[in-house]
Amino acid sequence: MIIPLMPIVAIHQEPVLNNQQKVTLAEDDKQVFPEPPADITKRNPASPAGKLTLAEYTSTTVGTTRKLNIYTPPGYTKDKKYPVLYLLHGIGGDETEWQRFATVDVLADNLIQAGKLRDVIIVMPNGRAQKNDKAEGNVFAAAPSFAVFEKDLLIDVIPFIEKTYSVLPGRENRAIAGLSMGGGQTLNFGFGNADKFGAIGAFSSAPNTMDAVKLIPDPDATRKRQTYIYLSCGSKDSLFGISRKTHVYLADKKITHHWNVDSHAHDPTHWRNNLYWFLQGAFKPAAPR
């Protein structure tokens, strides 16, 4: 059992955890996706630029107007329909965090240019569903509002996106992913609403992650539904045990998934590297005719 230490710094960034902790790796705790090239977040001059839009929606759940950051791919047009990824931040973050950690627009533009990623809309909401949703003060105190966000996502965010943008319907065109608290939200909401999400990517999931038996009470149904499942954690992350427990359950129930253990900690390098691989797996470009 790994007990995470309280943060040293917790304002506008993820908590600095005790990443020095020794993790004993099991045989299947392996890096299955290699380190991406160092330049994944440097703009390839040949890549046309997508667009980032800071939008607002009415949250009936919270009773306020809330912000979200939306990436639309280069050449976005109402004449086409696009799959969507809902991408969730950590306990110290907000709707700007993923962009700050991973320059999501550049990363996606480059992958699309390289023919490794479909045109996809990436929605980065604020997962702290409470009236003051800023990452300020003791960010741990807001942990319960990350659970409330399930309702906000399902009844406010997704309908807002689907009426504002040109979106492909169905679970096979809707993915959810996140880092740390957002990883826990991803597993809880993704498995809990399996009819809505066809791909799940959880990076360095936090202690808000529900027990695997509660997440997946009917392994046969989960296996048959064919969800693209991607779990990752750095071997230097003190929250390692949480992701591993989820992986061990999935493996035991023979539910196909990726489990990527790299050598990073609870840090943006781990998150951007694993977003890079998750995007390519969840939104593979169509095979050429």
The DSSP-derived string for 196-238 is: T-SEEEEES--TTPPPHHHH-S-HHHHHHH--EEEEEEETT-T
Largest CA-CA distance found in the chain, in angstroms, rounded: 54
Between 148 and 168, CB nearer to ligand FER: 148
Q: Is 265 in the site for ligand FER (CB under 6 A)?
A: no
Side chain identity, residue 205: S
Which residues within the stretch 87-116 sit at the binding site for ligand FER (CB under 6 A)? Answer: 90-91
Per-residue binding string, ligand FER, 15-54, x by CB under 6 A, is: x---------------------------------------
Which residues within the stretch 73-92 sit at the binding site for ligand FER (CB under 6 A)? Answer: 90-91
Q: Is 180 in the site for ligand FER (CB under 6 A)?
A: yes
Between 16 and 194, CB nearer to ligand FER: 16
Q: Is 285 in the site for ligand FER (CB under 6 A)?
A: no
Cα dist from 81 to 19, 50, 99, 237, 264, whole Å: 42, 15, 24, 38, 36
Q: How many chain residues touch ligand FER (CB under 6 A)?
A: 12
Helix ranges (DSSP H) in 97-179: 97-102, 104-113, 143-151, 158-164
Residue 42 CB, shortest distance to ligand FER, in Å, is 25
What stretch of H or E contains 260?
A: strand 258-262
Between 16 and 55, CB nearer to ligand FER: 16
Residue 120 CB, shortest distance to ligand FER, in Å, is 24
Between 17 and 120, CB nearer to ligand FER: 17
Strand 84-88 and strand 121-125: the pairing is parallel
Out of 2, 4, 16, 31, the residue judged to bind ligand FER by CB under 6 A: 4
Give CA–CA dist 243/239, Å, rounded.
7
Which residues within the stretch 189-248 sit at the binding site for ligand FER (CB under 6 A)? Answer: 206-208
The residue count for the chain: 289
Binding site for ligand FER (CB under 6 A): 4, 14-15, 90-91, 140, 143, 180-181, 206-208
